[in-house]
Amino acid sequence: MAYLNLSKGHSVAIASVGAILGGTALSTSAQAQSAISGYTTGGADMDGMQVLVEFLDGSTEEAIWGTTAANAGGAFGTDWDLTFSGSTTFGSPWTFNAGGALSVSSLTINGIPGNTAFDDGAFPSTPGSASGWAFETASGQAPDSWEYSNPLDISTGDMWGTLAMSWDNGFSGTMTFIADTDNGTVDNPLTAAHVPEPTTVLGLVGVAAAFGMSKARKRQQSS
């Protein structure tokens, strides 16, 4: 499942299409192919993550996360930056600054190229990932919606490759937020699960049913 957080402070669990086609789930991965090395990921442990910023005028800019100091790292664009300083993202805030003439409409962090995954704190936990911590805004202008996506093939439902946030009317200024991360091992890096595309009319029916199910399955966002 992916979690889609709506502006009223609830996140919606979106059921996979395969899980409702004739009661038979489509396999997203034959076996787990990656492993968690530990749950004390800090700012200097996420090199290679892709950070994409989209602006209200439709333009985009991408930057790659890199180490900036001991236990610190960040991604830096034109008039914006995303940074984290500390030995663990568990309960500690990231900082997003946007001070240019263009307001930001979305911020997307793809952790997989940096061998990094987001742990939303759901139970049961993926082995080696510990408790996790769901996304929450610590200060500043909260996004109108946010979503974890790209589940990992090692995940039991708590590990995600991507975190995305969006602002309907644009964002500028400084926001801090909490989003826990873990790292994969060097020899067995993190990979996203393969999700087959529906190829029949039943697939379309499944999509409609999944949408209906999503309305009834809400999880309160941490605040």
Residue 91 lies in a domain: yes
Q: Which domain holds residue 121?
A: 27-195
Residue 73 lies in a domain: yes
Taking residues 136-145, report their average pLDDT.
98
Calpha distance 46→165 (Å, rounded): 19
Calpha distance 1→102 (Å, rounded): 34
Is 68 within 8 Å of 43 (Cβ atoms)?
yes
Count of domains for the chain: 1
Is 25 within 8 Å of 52 (Cβ atoms)?
no
Calpha distance 52→202 (Å, rounded): 35
Q: DSSP assignment, residue 4? A: E
Cα of 72 vs its chain's centroid, Å: 20
**For residue range 187-211, what is the model confidence (pLDDT) as tens digits?**
878 888 865 555 443 444 444 444 4
Residue type for position 74? G
Query: What are the angstrom distances between the C-alpha of 151 and each of 44, 130, 147?
Result: 23, 17, 12
What is the band of 126 on the pLDDT scale with cuts at 50, 70, 90? confident
Amino acid 9: pLDDT: 38
Residue 7 lies in a domain: no
- The token pair at 47 is 């090199």
* More confident call, 65 vs 194: 65
Residue 69, CB-side half-sphere exposure with 13 Å CA sphere:
5
Residue 112 lies in a domain: yes
Residue 204 lies in a domain: no
Question: Is residue 68's pLDDT more than 70?
Answer: yes
Strand, helix or coil for residue 213:
helix
Residue 158 CB partners (closer than 8 Å, separation 6+): 119, 120, 121, 122, 123, 124, 125, 126, 129, 132
Amino acid 157: pLDDT: 85
Question: Is residue 88's pLDDT more than 60?
Answer: yes
Using CB atoms within 10 A of its CB, is residue 188 exposed (0-12), middle (13-18) or buried (19+)? middle
Residue 1 lies in a domain: no
In this prediction the pTM is: 0.73
Residue 15 lies in a domain: no
Using CB atoms within 10 A of its CB, is residue 58 exposed (0-12), middle (13-18) or buried (19+)? exposed
Residue 208 lies in a domain: no
